Amino acid sequence: MFPATRIRSCLPVINPIIKQRLRPHRPFRQTTATLTQTKNPVQTQLQRTKWMNFRAIFTRWMPLGSVMYVSWCYIRASINYEISKVEIKFYEMFPFRITSRIWGKLAACELPVSLRGLVYGTYIRMFNVNLSDAAITDLTSYKSLSAFFTRPLRDGARYISPVPCVSPCDGVVLNCGPADTEKIEQVKGVTYSLEEFLGENKWSETNGSYYNSLLKNKDNILHQCIIYLAPGDYHRFHSPCDWKASFRRHFCGKLLSVNPWMARLIPGLFAINERAVYVGEWQHGFFSMTAVGATNVGSIEIYSDPELRTNTKGKRTRINETDLSNVSYKKGELFGQFNMGSTIILLFEAPKDFKFEFASGERVLVGQALSAAAKEFAR
């Protein structure tokens, strides 16, 4: 046996040999990566934190989360999923007003002539735009996307029916029919409050319930027509009948999406969003026409009301009111325009036998007769 002192003297030579034999094999690329991390610790730290800083929340996580959430809402709408109040509040927290203002500025930027055909042509294919109805078919004549969105119609592109009340815009009917209660259907099975939508009745003498205070003739009832304008539709809207507007109320609300599938998920959507309500009278009594804003539709322009300013900075609960002194509108007259698609809501008084000529889900055009009963009144 070797003495202990002799073994201890051999350890400095044996230990490195044993460690080298027991050391696991490491690929050359890992060793290189390790050396790189050792040489650049500052760069490694930046790579770790670039997805966690304050700027990344707005430039990466919020857009990604918005896309994922809207996609999930679309899937749930297809399977008749009932959304919870917590999810609605979470959806309302997204900065749609800020993004809509940014989109409005981008859409108003003048495009180079060489890019106009490509940009507008892509938009036409994506949203199935019927350019043959436009007054100007040369795409290079539109300086910006906003100008293309609000393009005018050529003369004779729409036939204005001789009946008393016609469709004010091109679009898809979300709902139409009698509104004989203070809770009105925005789509089948989903309602919104009449009083929250129109606001306090300051244009007529109140008598009894809010619903009855709107009616001029107690034998009549209210009827409604909700028309959704898709991004590819004609974005101007017209007066649906001969009437006089006496009052305007602007609600500085939210700018949530008003797509049909979103309207099926969020109760009271039209009473939440920003909107410009015009109230007056027509041949049967009370008449109102409301332009509802939506995501990327922060700009609602009314030609006869230049003082209206939508999607401005400030509290969302602001309500601006203006007396219009009975401004007269003729049937088919240009009333206003949207940037991108949105919604027009008609609420009007008419006899109980007033029947709409079309049903929910059908497509209508400017000037199309609203109802078969209206034809009888026109005789």
**pLDDT tens digits, one per residue of 174-207:** 999 898 888 888 877 788 889 999 998 888 877 6
The whole-angstrom separation of Cα 75 and Cα 359 is 25
The rounded percent of the chain whose pLDDT value lies above 70 is 76
Q: Which of 100, 146, 299, 342 is catalytic?
A: 342
Report if residue 6 sits inside a domain: no
Is the Cβ–Cβ distance between 230 and 344 less than 8 Å? Answer: no
Report if residue 99 sits inside a domain: no
Q: Tens of pLDDT along 117-151?
A: 999 999 999 889 989 999 999 999 999 988 898 89
The pLDDT score that the predictor gives to residue 374 is 43
Report if residue 84 sits inside a domain: no
The tokens describing 187, both together, are 């789509």
Report if residue 159 sits inside a domain: no
Q: Which of 235, 238, 250, 284 is catalytic?
A: 238
Q: Is 233 known to be catalytic?
A: no
Between β-strands 319-329 and 243-251, what pairing exists: parallel, antiparallel or unpaired? antiparallel
Tokens 């108003």 belong to residue: 108
Question: Which domain range does residue 194 map to?
Answer: 171-378
The burial of 71, by beta-carbon neighbours within 10 Å (0-12 exposed, 13-18 middle, 19 or more buried), is given as exposed
Q: Which of 133, 146, 167, 170 is catalytic?
A: 170
Domain count, the chain: 1
| CA nearest to 263, candidates 98, 88, 89 | 88
Q: Is 133 known to be catalytic?
A: no
Q: Tens of pLDDT along 204-248?
A: 877 678 898 899 888 999 999 999 998 889 999 999 999 999 999
Model-level pTM?
0.76
Of 17-26, 71-80, 238-247, the least confident: 17-26
Q: Is 235 known to be catalytic?
A: no
Report if residue 278 sits inside a domain: yes
The whole-angstrom separation of Cα 134 and Cα 296 is 23
Tokens 């290189």 belong to residue: 32
